[in-house]
């Protein structure tokens, strides 16, 4: 009868709301633990003490205001492009924490000469990424941020069919999940090929919450709310052999330092340590295999689907990129 169907529908809705409430409570507990657990407190103290920020504006939350935060080391060849891309997308501010770069990364940031970009001196050498970026997000929130985009220096963020800013502002959900597609240099040089299959791990942007805490790698955030998949990231992890080799050696050292100063769980990033065990000749072989689409699994950021030529430098939304590499787009060509 009609009334029994309505009762069942109401019961299902109540159960669903209960499950969401349980999930939110679990997320809050994780965020609180990350901030208060004695085993994690020392790491957070070291991370926060190492961040030396310039003066930021002091504002209450501005509805729809999007800020981006990152920590980088030796990304001079790409960081100018990723930051400019975010500026072109309309972000209100960007905090870039430079972790002891020696390749001119800080000079590249200063050279952008944009008042929305704030260069942070990160003097803590260990790779305490989650703690550092959570602190940067908190500082951005104090400057008026509503949404936080935690990005890596080699990531280009897009909305599906609109700008990143418009996509975030249109969401009712406070957590925006981004599928990641890796892009690799063409073997011939001078061009890029996009992996048509998404990477194994996703990234997140989120509305600030006072108990929010980022997961290592920016793959998740501990805060209440149901995630919505509405963003894409084009990731350029490997750009030249010199950058590939340098990133492996320095990354492994930073991860080992972080591991040596932690007392609880693993810091992640096992691929850095595995790759650092290879000698120069084996790294050359791994690089050649990567360019030819058959890289070893230990490299983590490897081709997992078909690689297709892609021109993405001037794209403003993901639809412009996907139309080049999808089967439908290829057929139109």
Q: What is the pLDDT of residue 30?
A: 62
Mean pLDDT value of segment 11-37:
54
Count CB neighbours of 104 within 10 A.
15
Given a contact cutoff of 8 angstroms between Cβ atoms, the answer to whether 168 and 183 are in contact is no
Grade residue 7 by pLDDT with cuts at 50, 70 and 90.
Answer: very low
Identify the three-state secondary structure at position 196.
coil
Average pLDDT over residues 78-94: 97
Average pLDDT over residues 231-260: 78
The answer to whether the Cα torsion of 115, 217, 22, 231 is positive or negative is positive
The per-residue pLDDT for 18 is 47
324's enclosing H/E stretch is helix 318-325
163 vs 15 pLDDT, higher one: 163
| Phi, psi for 201 (deg, rounded to 5) | -110, 150
List the single range of 3-7, 268-272, 297-301 with lowest mean pLDDT. 3-7
pLDDT of residue 246: 81
pLDDT tens, 31-61? Answer: 566 666 767 788 889 999 999 999 999 999 9
pLDDT grade for 303, boundaries at 50, 70 and 90: confident
Instruction: Enumerate long-range contacts of 241-248, CB under 8 Å, 24 or more apart.
Output: 241/283, 241/284, 241/287, 243/77, 244/283, 244/287, 244/290, 245/280, 245/283, 246/74, 247/74, 248/272, 248/275, 248/276, 248/283
Q: 285 pLDDT band (50/70/90 cuts)?
A: confident
Q: What is the mean pLDDT of residues 262-277?
A: 57
Using the predicted structure, report yes or no on whether residue 9 has a pLDDT greater than 70.
Answer: no
- In 3D space, the residue among 156, 154, 155, 150 whose CA is nearest the CA of residue 221 turns out to be 150
Pairing of the two strands 307-309 and 175-185:
unpaired
The model's confidence at residue 265, banded by pLDDT at 50, 70 and 90, is very low
**Average pLDDT across the chain, whole number:** 84
Give the pLDDT score at 275. Answer: 74
In a 3-state reduction of DSSP, which class is residue 92?
coil
Indicate the DSSP class of residue 100: S
| Pairing mode, strands 175-185 and 203-207 | antiparallel
Mean pLDDT calculated for residue range 241-268:
64
- Give the residue with greater pLDDT, 179 vs 330: 179
Cβ proximity of 116 and 95 under 8 Å: no
Q: Which band of pLDDT confidence, cut at 50, 70 and 90, is reported for residue 180?
A: very high
With 70 as the cut, is the pLDDT of residue 203 above it? yes
pLDDT in tens, 97-149: 999 999 999 999 999 999 999 999 999 988 899 999 999 999 999 999 999 99
Look at residue 66 in the predicted model and tell me its pLDDT.
98
């Amino acid at each position: 009868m009609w009334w029994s169907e309505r009762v069942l529908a109401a019961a299902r809705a109540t159960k669903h709301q209960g499950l969401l409430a349980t999930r939110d409570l679990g997320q809050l507990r994780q965020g609180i633990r990350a901030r208060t657990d004695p085993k994690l407190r020392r790491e957070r103290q070291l991370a926060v003490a190492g961040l030396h920020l310039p003066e930021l504006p002091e504002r209450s939350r501005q509805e729809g205001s999007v800020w981006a935060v990152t920590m980088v080391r030796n990304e001079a060849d790409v960081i100018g492009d990723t930051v400019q891309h975010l500026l072109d997308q309309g972000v209100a501010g960007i905090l870039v924490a430079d972790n002891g770069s020696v390749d001119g990364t800080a000079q590249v940031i200063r050279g952008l000469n944009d008042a929305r970009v704030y260069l942070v001196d990160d003097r803590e050498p260990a790779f305490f990424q989650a703690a550092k970026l959570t602190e940067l997000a908190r500082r951005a929130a104090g400057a008026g941020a509503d949404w936080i985009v935690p990005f890596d220096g080699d990531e280009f963020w897009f909305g599906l069919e609109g700008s990143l800013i418009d996509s975030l502002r249109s969401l009712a959900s406070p957590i925006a999940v981004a599928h990641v597609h890796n892009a690799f240099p063409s073997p011939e040089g001078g061009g890029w090929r996009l992996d048509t299959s998404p990477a194994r791990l996703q990234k997140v942007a989120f509305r600030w919450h006072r108990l929010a805490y980022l997961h290592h790698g920016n793959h998740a955030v501990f805060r209440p709310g149901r995630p919505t998949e509405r963003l894409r990231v084009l990731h350029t992890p490997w750009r030249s052999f010199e950058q590939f080799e340098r990133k492996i050696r320095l990354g492994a050292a930073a991860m080992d330092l972080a591991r040596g100063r932690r007392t609880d769980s693993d810091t992640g990033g096992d691929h850095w340590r595995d790759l650092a065990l290879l000698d120069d000749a084996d790294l050359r072989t791994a690089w050649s295999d990567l360019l030819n689409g058959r890289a070893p699994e230990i490299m983590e950021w490897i081709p997992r689907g078909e690689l297709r030529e892609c021109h993405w430098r001037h794209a403003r939304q993901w639809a412009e990129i996907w139309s080049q590499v999808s089967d439908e787009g290829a057929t139109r060509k």
